[in-house]
Amino acid sequence: MHRLRAEIIAILFAFIASGAAPLGAQVNVEALRRDPDRRGLSGMLALDLALRAGNVDLVQFTIKGRADRVAGRSASFVVGSGDLGLEGGNRFTNAGLVHLRQAYHLRPWIAAEVFGQLNYEEPRLLDLRALVGGGVRVRVSDRGRVRLSVGSGYMFEHERLDLPATATHPARTSVHRSSSYASLWGAAASNVVLGATIYVQPQIDEWNDVRMVGDVAVSLRVTEAIGVVTTLNVRYDSRPPDDIESSDLALKTGVSVTF
């Protein structure tokens, strides 16, 4: 399992390194895109860093990135993120994610899409989550500076958890889920961009088992390429592993670079 984590991290940092070339949420980076319909290749990198010294020695950083390619009716992107935290020399958080999505526009306002994802997250005892799925994305509103899209589809999800033998939650699960989302992108001003996304993912044959992810990101561009980003993320799991809270909230501020 440690080897698999190393492979996920290697994929993530290989992707991030490629962002130095001319390249264009889970992880919400909608607020960091200058134009959702920008053709060709584009990309972004963002870094959050927290340091404390004295009574508490703490280091925590999150790095995330996205590369987009839009050509004709086809649009694809890959998202990567990594999170590492040390307190008093001991690791208290370690997480990584890679997400790939491909869309084909049937009409300017509707697209079919497929996606896949690998991630792990130690604080939630998650050794591995692997999922694949597909669905339809519809652009509900397009008013130039404000765009609203919704999507719905199916995904197959497999999880492996690092649980003690006495745990009541299964250590391995494979389930079918419905995945629906709404995504808002808006330019509040020439240098202020807002991105907001909410996902709802119930298990198809057991609707009481539901997961929700919502986040809002605000990007203030300092220059054409550099911005300051503040992100609020909220997650809910109706059936978390043993001794894990059902909800999480995180507020972070960092710096982003777009290409």
Structure confidence by residue, pLDDT tens digits, 54-76: 666 778 888 988 899 999 899 99
**How far is 83 from 60, CA to CA, in rounded Å?**
8
CA dist 49 and 106 (Å) reads 41
Determine the topology of domain 2-258 in CATH: Porin (2.40.160)
What are the tens digits of pLDDT across the range 207-232? 999 999 998 989 898 998 899 988 89
Share of the chain above pLDDT 90, in %: 50
| Cα 76 off chain centre by | 15
- How confident is residue 238, by pLDDT bands cut at 50, 70 and 90? very high
The CA-based angle 228-254-222, given to 5 degrees, is: 15
pLDDT at 9 over 50: no
Mean pLDDT estimate for the chain: 84
Confidence band for 4, pLDDT divided at 50, 70 and 90 = low
What pLDDT digit, counting tens, does each position of 78-129 carry? 999 998 888 877 888 889 999 999 999 999 899 999 999 999 999 899 999 9
- pLDDT above 60 for 23: no
Q: Is the dihedral of CA 163, 164, 170, 172 positive or negative?
A: positive
User: Comparing 5-14, 33-42, 221-230, which segment has the lowest mean pLDDT?
Assistant: 5-14
